[in-house]
Amino acid sequence: MAQNDTRPSRLIHGFHAVIAKLRHNPAAVQEIYLEQGRQDGRAKDLLRHAQAQDVRVIPTEAKRLDGMAPGMRHQGVVARVDANERQPALDDVLDTLEEPALLLILDGVTDPHNLGACLRVADAVGAHAVIAPKDRAVGLTQTAIKVASGAAETVPYITVTNLARTLRELKERNIWVIGTDDQGSDDLYTAQWPTGTAWVMGAEGEGMRRLTRENCDQLVRIPMAGAVESLNVSVAAGVCLFEAKRRLGS
């Protein structure tokens, strides 16, 4: 990065997030602050990626890093990245797919830890995007990015103004919209659905909003064998997405 770079910036932290950004969008990384004296394997891996992309790494006192990411487990690394980095639109993602769509939709998830975990699940299963409404949603906070362990840099997180309308647009593209609900009539493991799917998860406790539910093609439930009545949203997302992926044969 040139020292006179005047682009507006934001901070990300943690080795997973910073290295993922260097791998997938190095042009957005303005500079990296690494705890001085670090000689361990993760630090060397980060330095190798930064050098390959000609990104400046600044040795920094741990106390200053604490101030840059207050209350966060930054692991000794903070990066300044372009705040104006363009997020893809949903059409940008869908228009380039050469395989059946696999999408995760979050309706009413306001906990950044849950969002980060959902992004991590989406990355692990190879989902094409995570979609959420602009209202009643947490957004990509520092905590969400950290919990995602790099997945916030690899999985498009797309916010939409009107979620119900977005669901209708997905159906027009022949993407089957499946809502997860404890009272769903279909068991996840016996239900049938087309190949291209969008899985809708509601917030814990409240579940999906009425209009969201009404715009689903199908409602399924995850069978629960124990005393616990429901799963954390990120766990439920993992169960459903990996089942959908399994049926695609990959």
- Tokens linked to 248: 């695609």
140 is in an annotated binding site: no
- Listing DSSP states for 129-176 in one string gives EEEEESSS---S-HHHHHHTTTGGGTS-EEEES-HHHHHHHHHHTTPE
**DSSP 8-state secondary structure symbol assigned to residue 51:** H
231 is in an annotated binding site: yes
Compute the distance between CA of residue 38 and CA of residue 208 in angstroms, rounded to an integer. 46
CB 129 within 8 A of CB 103: yes
202 is in an annotated binding site: yes
CB 237 within 8 A of CB 121: yes
Distance (Å) of CA 2 to CA 29, 55, 145: 11, 9, 25
Compute the distance between CA of residue 82 and CA of residue 25 in angstroms, rounded to an integer. 10
Distance (Å) of CA 1 to CA 14, 36, 38, 106, 241: 20, 20, 21, 36, 38
CB atoms within 10 A of CB 209: 17
- Tokens linked to 61: 């006192």
Output the known binding site. Answer: 202, 222, 231
Output the known binding site for S-adenosyl-L-methionine. Answer: 202, 222, 231
